[in-house]
């Protein structure tokens, strides 16, 4: 095992544990450790303390941590999908309530069965009618918020979310009232209206599941802004460390070989340039940061 070359891996492992003990960072540390351990010792400068490789290892640890932060933050787009899913689920619930019992809920009436065995449920009709109106209002407000591409937290989005939650609760309450009164008062009517009851359970269940997903999204949204700033700070420090590693590679190349024109300097310069590219506020941020991490790992693979 090349003990001298394992120093960068030790630095990288320290950064992984101190800055961001995450899967990707630890994977980078393991990869660098394996490369350092398997490569033979240098014949030109075996006892040299390669400062550039230590600084590059620091840059790699920071860049890998920033990359994983950015990957997690990119998942915040799921907030929009969650809101869209809730709007669709609200529409499904509304259409279901309109369709059951021949649309009588629109006239504030609801019952189970037909003919002489029909069981009228005025109390359930009131609850289901309110669930229909509230779910419709929540669906329209959420859809308007999405179509306007307004930032999260605007009034339409908050109102739509609240109304959908209330609509899901009223729908579940209405289904419970229908099932309870039907079983208690007329099992035959309950059996005749089982298809309508099953449709309402399905509609309310779909809306409830979408609500759970939508309510879970703001927690990630609250962290996203701070996570973005943290990942940008780590990325800036990583790019700065890559520039320092570039300067150190030039100095060590001059000391060891009497020239700055070395393969190590060229590869370190490439990684440093990729770091500068990753800092630019343009599109494909994840891809540019990933290339920066790859460039640093490739530079560390030259450690011998």
Q: Which tens digit of pLDDT belongs to each residue from 261-284? A: 777 788 788 888 888 888 887 777
234's tokens: 């780590």
CB neighbours of 95 closer than 8 A, spacing ≥ 6?
Answer: 203
216's tokens: 């879970």
pLDDT tens column, 51-79: 777 787 778 777 777 776 666 555 445 56
Per the model's pLDDT, the better-predicted residue between 188 and 224 turns out to be 188
- Is-contact 92 203, C-beta < 8 A? yes
Kind plus residue range of the DSSP H or E element containing 53: helix 51-74
> pLDDT grade, residue 209 (50/70/90)?
confident
Q: What is the distance between the alpha carbons of residues 86 and 213, in angstroms, rounded to a whole number?
A: 8
pLDDT surpassing 50 at residue 197: yes
Average pLDDT, the chain: 75
Q: Residues 193-202: what's their mean pLDDT?
A: 85
CB neighbours of 229 closer than 8 A, spacing ≥ 6?
Answer: none
- Is-contact 292 245, C-beta < 8 A? no
CB neighbours of 220 closer than 8 A, spacing ≥ 6?
Answer: 75, 76, 78, 79
pTM above 0.85, yes or no: no
Max mean pLDDT among 17-26, 30-39, 158-167, 215-224 falls in 158-167
pLDDT in the model for residue 28? 57
pLDDT surpassing 50 at residue 220: no
- Is-contact 19 61, C-beta < 8 A? yes
Q: Residues 43-48: what's their mean pLDDT?
A: 44
Q: What is the distance between the alpha carbons of residues 41 and 46, in angstroms, rounded to a whole number?
A: 6
- Is-contact 28 64, C-beta < 8 A? yes
> pLDDT grade, residue 13 (50/70/90)?
low
pLDDT in the model for residue 47? 40
Per the model's pLDDT, the better-predicted residue between 60 and 206 turns out to be 206
pLDDT surpassing 50 at residue 241: yes
Q: Residues 161-178: what's their mean pLDDT?
A: 87
Per the model's pLDDT, the better-predicted residue between 258 and 13 turns out to be 258
pLDDT in the model for residue 36? 55
Distances 160 to 77, 136, 146, 301 between C-alpha atoms, Å = 19, 10, 11, 53
Max mean pLDDT among 27-36, 211-220, 229-238 falls in 229-238
- Is-contact 231 70, C-beta < 8 A? yes
pLDDT in the model for residue 152? 61
pLDDT in the model for residue 222? 47
- Name the DSSP letter for residue 43: S
Q: What is the distance between the alpha carbons of residues 16 and 115, in angstroms, rounded to a whole number?
A: 73
Residue 68's SS3 state is: helix
Residues shown for the chain: 304
pLDDT in the model for residue 25? 56
Per the model's pLDDT, the better-predicted residue between 92 and 299 turns out to be 92
pLDDT in the model for residue 23? 53
pLDDT surpassing 50 at residue 48: no
Burial of 107 (0-12, 13-18, 19+ CB in 10 A): exposed
- Is-contact 14 277, C-beta < 8 A? no
Q: Among 46-60, 88-102, 237-251, 285-299, where is mean pLDDT lowest? A: 46-60
């Amino acid at each position: 095992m090349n003990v001298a070359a394992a120093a960068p891996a030790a630095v990288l492992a320290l950064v992984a544990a101190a800055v961001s003990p995450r899967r990707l960072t630890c994977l980078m540390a393991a990869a660098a450790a394996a490369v350092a351990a398997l490569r033979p010792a240098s014949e030109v400068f075996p006892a040299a303390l390669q400062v550039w490789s230590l600084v590059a290892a620091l840059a790699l640890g920071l860049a890998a941590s920033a990359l994983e932060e950015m990957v997690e933050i990119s998942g915040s787009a799921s907030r929009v999908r969650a809101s869209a899913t809730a709007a669709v689920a609200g529409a499904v619930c509304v259409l279901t309530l309109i369709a059951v019992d021949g649309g009588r809920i629109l006239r504030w009436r609801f019952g189970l069965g037909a003919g002489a065995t029909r069981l009228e449920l005025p109390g359930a009709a009131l609850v289901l009618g309110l669930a229909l109106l509230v779910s419709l209002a929540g669906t329209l407000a959420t859809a308007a918020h999405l179509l306007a591409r307004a930032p999260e937290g605007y009034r339409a989005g908050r109102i739509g979310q609240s109304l959908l939650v209330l609509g899901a609760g009223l729908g579940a309450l209405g289904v419970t009232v229908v099932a309870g009164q039907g079983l208690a008062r007329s099992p035959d009517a309950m059996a005749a209206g089982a298809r309508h009851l099953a449709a309402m359970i399905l509609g309310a269940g779909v809306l409830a599941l979408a609500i759970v997903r939508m309510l879970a999204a703001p927690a990630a949204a609250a962290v996203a802004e701070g996570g973005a700033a943290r990942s940008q700070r780590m990325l800036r420090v990583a790019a700065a460390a890559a520039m320092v590693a570039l300067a150190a590679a030039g100095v060590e190349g001059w000391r060891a070989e009497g020239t700055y024109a070395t393969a190590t300097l060229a590869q370190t310069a490439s990684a440093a340039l990729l770091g500068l590219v990753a800092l630019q506020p343009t599109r494909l941020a994840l891809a540019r940061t990933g290339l920066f991490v790859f460039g640093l790992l490739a530079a560390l693979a030259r450690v011998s």
